[in-house]
Structure 1
Amino acid sequence: MAVGKSGAKWLSIALVLSFLSACGGGTQERALDSYTAEEIYKQGELELETGSRPKDAIRYFQEVERLYPYSEWAKRSLIMQAFSQHKAKEYEEARSTAQRFLDTYPGDEDAPYAAYLMALSYYDQIDEVGRDQGLTFQALQGMRTVIEQYPDSDYARSAMLKFELAFDHLAGKEMEIGRYYLKRRQYTAAINRFRTVVQDFQTTTHTAEALHRLTEAYLGLGLTAEAQTSAAILGFNYQSSPFYDDSFRLLKGRGLAPEARGDSWLSQVYRQMVRGEWL
């Protein structure tokens, strides 16, 4: 297949770098020096656009930084290294490179993106709910940094959305543990988990179920006032939820109905959420 003049030039760069990678330097480095920083940088971009191995692009961007330090192309290559490393799922390396960019160019227009990449490297490692949630906390912290330090950037809205999803993920972890205890009739331990969701994660998608599980757990302990109050909060905020139907049936089966009773922590939540009495 015929290769045009421009294509042949890019091919020669690729061959030189490939040889460098295999041989570890030598006289071939002088051959690489004959290409400009822009030419090597654009080959890295080309690898990202057309290649399936972002690690190849990483090497090009690293070469720009090595051969042309302190240049504008070196700065661009540094942020592109971080992006390429993230794309290659080299998350620790991506964070390190992004942090190096922020340390070197704190006021640069790409600083918000570097901070976002750092947060994203944690966020994209969040897996199923059952795993340790340390990465989720770090993702939340990173997204908050983007939101607070770069509120007018193009990445603030995306950071906010991912913050909410990560926050929901943490609530899901509490629910999973609470269900585990509830299934084994360890009601007090279960209540502690569901209470955390109601008090600390009210804006997540898990609040309705947490209130229903509290009704179940308190009934298991024979604490009917707390069970009724939990169901009353559930009915006020999520009356159309199937969890409210389940709680209503549980109470009705014992001759009870959802209503605020007693002076427990749930009564305080009821006064705040239903009556608006915050003081």
Structure 2
Amino acid sequence: MRYVPSRMEWRLMLLLSVAAAVAGCSRGFRPQDFATPEALFKASLQEFERKKWDNAQLGFERLTNDLSSRDPLLAPAYFYLALTHERKHEFLLAAQAFERVTDGFPDDTLAPTAMLGSGRSYQSIWRRPSLDPEQGQKAVSVLRALLSSYPDAKEVEDAKARISTLEEWFAEKDYMTGVHYVRVRRAIDPAIIYFKDVVTTYPTTKAARLSWLRLNELYTKIRWKEDAAETCTAMWKAYPGDADVRSACGVQPADTTAVPAAAAPPAPRDTIALAPLAASTPVVYARPAPVGRG
């Protein structure tokens, strides 16, 4: 007698067939399916543009592992791998991949953009001034290297702006450390050291103005009259017409002839309202894949 499947069995077999067909048609992005590095690079770039970060990472990682050091696709593969990590907020991996471009291909047209990306990635790791500034220091080091290595690059202005933002954060951190010594530890000497470091190292920052005021306050408190007078002279020059300076030091004497520096915007005595780190906006550099591999 011939066996006839039941209705339930027919449905089960149909579902299994559909599942097998779907699985066969949607294997996903597989780097090993591409016959040439050029094809894989093009496909990975398409995945990147579609914001398929995981797929793009798979493709670019495969290229960086398989290509020879002289292959013209290696630098852009590392570059886009770095951008992919950055878009995934994997900033340390992004910085390291950008550095593979700048270290291995310093004469490549991608090098200045990659160096900016490396500095930007380190900057993104340092999320606020109260944290360990090590990554911020790395960012400044990389960005200053960009200014010296590629002075005519279009990335220079962005690098300068980021350095300025980072210096504001360094200054704020030192200023708040000085405030901590005064308020919590009641230790004047180390506080003076921190405030003097701010006005010396970061003279154009918002924290510099507050540090001058704090120095004047401390010198007056411990009756170091000459030092207090010097702070007033410095503040009259740097912040002419500032209300807090006038309150601390009085009106500038008429015989003071030094040309004042540009005044920083007024800020509260005990707080610093700094702008957040610039948003990460990577520059996408799409370089055509080379024609032929010889």
Matched residue, 2:227: 226
The amino acid across from 1:214 in the alignment is L
Q: Is the 8 A contact 2:82 2:93 kept in 1?
A: yes
Separation (CA, whole Å) in 1 of partners of 2:94 and 2:245: 45
The amino acid across from 2:236 in the alignment is G
Separation (CA, whole Å) in 2 of partners of 1:136 and 1:120: 10
Q: Which protein is bigger by CA-based radius of gyration?
A: 2
Separation (CA, whole Å) in 2 of partners of 1:232 and 1:102: 46
Q: Is the 8 A contact 2:235 2:245 kept in 1?
A: yes
Q: Is the 8 A contact 1:48 1:57 kept in 2?
A: yes
Separation (CA, whole Å) in 2 of partners of 1:83 and 1:97: 9
Q: Which one has a larger percent helix, Structure 1 or Structure 2?
A: 1
Question: After superposition, where does 1:17-166 map in structure 2 within 5 Å?
Answer: 17=30, 29=32, 32-34=33-35, 36-51=36-51, 54-66=53-65, 69=68, 70-166=70-166
Q: Secondary structure at the match of 2:220?
A: helix
Q: Is the 8 A contact 2:126 2:132 kept in 1?
A: no
Q: Secondary structure at the match of 1:230?
A: helix
The amino acid across from 1:244 in the alignment is V
Matched residue, 2:244: 243
The 4+ residue runs of structure 1 with deviation greater than 4 A are 66-70, 270-274
Q: Is the 8 A contact 1:40 1:60 kept in 2?
A: yes
Is the counterpart of residue 210 in structure 1 residue 211 in structure 2? yes
Per-residue deviation, residues 75-113 of structure 1 (Å, max 9, x unmatched): 321211112112222223223322322343232111112
Q: Is the 8 A contact 2:34 2:40 kept in 1?
A: no
Give the alignment's Cα RMSD to 1 decimal.
Answer: 2.9
User: Scaled by the length of structure 2, what TM-score is found?
Assistant: 0.69
> CA shift at 1:67, angstroms?
5.1
Q: Provide the identity percentage.
A: 19
Per-residue deviation, residues 182-231 of structure 1 (Å, max 9, x unmatched): 22442222111111111221122222111111111112212233223312
Q: Secondary structure at the match of 1:72?
A: coil
Q: Is the 8 A contact 2:175 2:211 kept in 1?
A: yes
The amino acid across from 2:220 in the alignment is L
Q: Is the 8 A contact 1:55 1:85 kept in 2?
A: no
Separation (CA, whole Å) in 2 of partners of 1:141 and 1:273: 33
Matched residue, 2:197: 196
Structure with bigger RCO (C-alpha 8 Å, 6+ apart):
2
User: Scaled by the length of structure 1, what TM-score is found?
Assistant: 0.73
Cα 1:224/1:65, change in 2 over 3 Å: closer
